[in-house]
Amino acid sequence: MWPYSISRRARTLKRSVMRELIAITARPDIISFAGGLPAPELFPVDDYRACVDHVLSTEGRRAMQYGPPFALLKEGLAAHMRTLGVDAAPGDIFITNGAQQGLDLLARLLIDRDSPVVVEEIAFTGIAQAFNGQSATFRTVATDTAGGTGMDVEAAIAGLDGAAAAIVVPAFHNPLGVTLSAEKRVALVEAARRARVPLIEDDPYSPLRYDGEALPALKSLDEPGPAGGVLYLGSFSKILAPGLRLGWIVAPPVVQTQLTVLKETSDLETSALIQRSVAEYLQRGLLADHLTRLRRAYCERRDAMLAALAREFPQGVRWTHPQGGIFLWLTLPEGTDTGALLPMAVEYEKVAFIPGHAFSVTGRGGRNAMRLNFSNASLEMIDEGVRRLGRFLREAVKEL
Ligand SMILES: Cc1ncc(COP(=O)(O)O)c(C=O)c1O
């Protein structure tokens, strides 16, 4: 213990359960489906090195200086947003150090102590982290995993009255793997607009679609111009590399004025070198080919995991069938405690997952569920890991 006093807020914020669990599972002898990591062998290291070299040799002094958000990166991102059906101008793009910083900035922008926020009961852990950091209260809603249509939008709409924000991960949800249906998207955007509640569209995964029709981004359904209430969060973490720590918010310029002040309190801008080298990567048109490679490889891994689950798992376990992204969600019989199973699976079968309760915003959900990641394991590891997990569950869960 450090013998000095720290703030109450710092004392009360808890480390994400996820991080603790991932530490347990990060042993070299374990086949881990626990993390949410991209495949490192697919990082475009050579292409990216060429971009960094180019930036350093043509404008090295600027790239190593303090500097404002880089205009060419905003242009590249506005063009990228058009590929997702969003008509954004460079002036609508706000650069962040990843989507997590975006969540934190939006929480700080929108939340006063006890402000209500509409969110799914099972949600990405970083959402609860960011909004707990501002002492928000959560109005949690269910998600349709069986039908795969995503958030219970009727419940979300019922919770909008007086809310400070609503948050949704519409595509290839982390951790559930489901995608918000087209009808639900329209209904949610319209209701949030009527209720004048900002709608946060946290979307790191939509470019990673492997099958099915592309659906409109919520931002593309928003009121155009400065009155738009959908705040879109993008990230390079899953489509390029998380180590870059680069993301963006699509928000009207009036909102960006406040975001700039909030961001300045912690970082005096995102790395000029990273911004310029990613802008160069986009300008060279390298992202489209890279995404094609990622989609091909991850689609194969998803298919391998689905096939292995069908082959190796007992009746009585259900799972989502994601059309993209990097996760799927398993539901075991009622009463199963996956948190208690994890240490045994690691010990006896050397295989790891994340217990569902780690994603429960209230702390009460997800007890009989688990998240599996398929982007960070080879096809052989997927086959072998799912085989071990199936064998383990048959032994350990008597209802199966
Ligand atoms: C839904 C969701 N939002 C945000 C993030 C944070 O992304 P970043 O690495 O850009 O901070 C993640 C990362 O896994 C995520 O799954």
What local confidence, expressed as pLDDT, does residue 186 receive?
A: 98
Mean pLDDT of 10-20: 76
pLDDT digits (tens, 9 = 90+) for 81-95: 999 999 999 999 999
Mean pLDDT of 148-169: 98
Q: pTM of the prediction?
A: 0.96
Between the CA of 318 and the centroid of ligand 1 the distance, in Å, is 25
- Average pLDDT across the chain, whole number: 96
285 φ/ψ sector (left φ>0, alpha ψ -120 to 50, else beta): left
Nearest to 127 by CA among 286, 358, 335, 306: 358
Nearest to 237 by CA among 99, 108, 59, 365: 99
Mean pLDDT of 39-47: 98
| 122 neighbors 359 (Cβ within 8 angstroms) | yes
Q: Is residue 172 lining ligand 1, measured as CB closer than 6 Å?
A: no
Nearest CA to ligand 1 atom 14: 36
Task: State how far the Cα of 107 lies from the Cα of 136, in Å rounded to an integer.
Answer: 8
Task: State how far the Cα of 352 lies from the Cα of 386, in Å rounded to an integer.
Answer: 10
Between the CA of 235 and the centroid of ligand 1 the distance, in Å, is 7
Mean pLDDT of 40-67: 97
pLDDT digits (tens, 9 = 90+) for 329-338: 999 999 999 9
Q: Is residue 96 lining ligand 1, measured as CB closer than 6 Å?
A: no
Residue labelled with tokens 């899953």:
238
Between the CA of 312 and the centroid of ligand 1 the distance, in Å, is 31
Task: State how far the Cα of 324 lies from the Cα of 295, in Å rounded to an integer.
Answer: 8
Q: Is residue 228 lining ligand 1, measured as CB closer than 6 Å?
A: no
Task: State how far the Cα of 189 lies from the Cα of 157, in Å rounded to an integer.
Answer: 10
With cut-offs at 50, 70 and 90, classify the pLDDT of residue 8: confident
Task: State how far the Cα of 280 lies from the Cα of 277, in Å rounded to an integer.
Answer: 5
pLDDT digits (tens, 9 = 90+) for 339-374: 999 999 999 999 999 999 999 999 999 999 999 999
